[in-house]
């Protein structure tokens, strides 16, 4: 029996940016009836907004977690196509799903990444920083003292290698992280803040730490990508 394909389906970064998803992605998604998602409620809302016509009572939608990985592979081995749907942006990059993809490769199942917006790459593109050498660090420590130490380590790596350092934070801690970066980094270090990418109020600015010290930002409750560069 032919095996199914696993599709990595991107979603919008901002609810008003449906135009950032190519039509062919919607066409492929429309034919799929098995979805593995981060959150079922938001996945259903996105699928409806994107024009998905099947009844949710007739499809399978499961959360991406360790308990469901084997079930995903089971469907694929039965010849059924499966989609991994991101909460925002592209799946498996700063989002869950990599464990399913790894097992799919080990089972010789075709993995098909679909084109869509990646906040990490969009921020890097717009930062003016080194796009040949960069490192995505994900979330930094929650406690301020540990976070400051991590930020200083990122700055040291930047100075030693020239490698752009990219990181993120839970939206309600954005302001605290910005304050820590401004406090511990050298005045000459460049810091890029990329907020609400693809949204109508998108904000992307690269300034030196010295310049950021002269500006007060309030970026709570919105998604932001942070980058250190030179």
Q: What is the predicted pLDDT for the residue at 107?
A: 96
Quote the Cα angle for 200-127-161, to 5°: 155
Q: What is the CA radius of gyration of the chain?
A: 20
Q: Cα–Cα distance between 1 and 171 in angstroms, integer?
A: 46
Residue from 195, 43, 23, 17 nearest 115 by CA: 23
Q: Cα–Cα distance between 63 and 12 in angstroms, integer?
A: 19
The structure's pTM equals 0.93
Helix (H) or strand (E) holding 123: helix 119-127
Question: For residues 46 and 12, is the Cβ–Cβ distance under 8 A?
Answer: yes
* Mutual angle of helices 98-106 and 66-77, in 10-degree steps: 40
The structure tokens listed for 146 are 């540990």
Q: Cα–Cα distance between 59 and 22 in angstroms, integer?
A: 23
Sheet holding 82-85, edge to edge: 60-63, 34-37, 82-85, 6-9, 111-113
Q: Cα–Cα distance between 33 and 35 in angstroms, integer?
A: 7
| Per-residue DSSP letter, 89 | B
The residues of the chain scoring below 50 in pLDDT are: none
Q: Cα–Cα distance between 226 and 177 in angstroms, integer?
A: 9
Phi and psi angles of residue 165, each rounded to the nearest 5 degrees, phi first:
-110, 120
Sheet holding 134-139, edge to edge: 134-139, 164-168, 224-229, 190-195, 203-208
pLDDT tens-digit readout, 140-150: 999 999 999 99
Q: What is the predicted pLDDT for the residue at 1?
A: 82
Q: Cα–Cα distance between 93 and 11 in angstroms, integer?
A: 12
Question: For residues 13 and 61, is the Cβ–Cβ distance under 8 A?
Answer: no
pLDDT tens-digit readout, 41-97: 999 999 999 999 999 999 999 999 888 899 999 999 999 999 999 999 999 998 899
Q: Which domains, ranges and CATH numbers included, belong to the chain?
A: 6-113 (3.40.1010.10), 119-229 (3.30.950.10)
Q: What is the predicted pLDDT for the residue at 6?
A: 98
């Amino acid at each position: 029996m032919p095996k199914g394909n696993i599709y990595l389906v991107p979603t919008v970064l901002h609810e008003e940016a449906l135009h950032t998803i190519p039509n062919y992605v919607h066409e492929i998604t429309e034919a799929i009836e098995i979805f593995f998602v981060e959150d079922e409620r938001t996945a259903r809302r996105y699928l409806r907004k994107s024009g998905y016509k099947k009844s949710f009572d007739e499809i399978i939608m499961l959360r991406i977690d360790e308990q469901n990985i084997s079930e995903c592979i089971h469907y694929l081995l039965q010849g059924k196509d499966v989609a991994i749907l991101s909460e925002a942006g592209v799946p498996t990059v700063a989002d869950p799903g990599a464990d399913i993809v790894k097992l799919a490769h080990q089972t010789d199942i075709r993995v098909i990444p679909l084109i869509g917006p990646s906040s990490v790459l969009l921020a890097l593109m717009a930062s003016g920083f080194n796009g040949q050498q960069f490192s995505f660090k994900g979330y930094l420590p929650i406690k301020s003292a540990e976070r400051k130490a991590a930020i200083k380590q990122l700055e040291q790596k930047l100075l030693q290698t020239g490698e752009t350092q990219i990181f993120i934070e839970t939206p309600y801690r954005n302001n605290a992280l910005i304050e820590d970066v401004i406090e511990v980094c050298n005045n000459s270090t460049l810091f890029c803040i990329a907020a609400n990418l693809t949204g109508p109020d998108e904000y992307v600015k690269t300034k030196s730490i010295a310049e950021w010290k002269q500006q007060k930002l309030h970026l709570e409750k919105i998604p932001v990508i942070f980058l250190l560069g030179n």
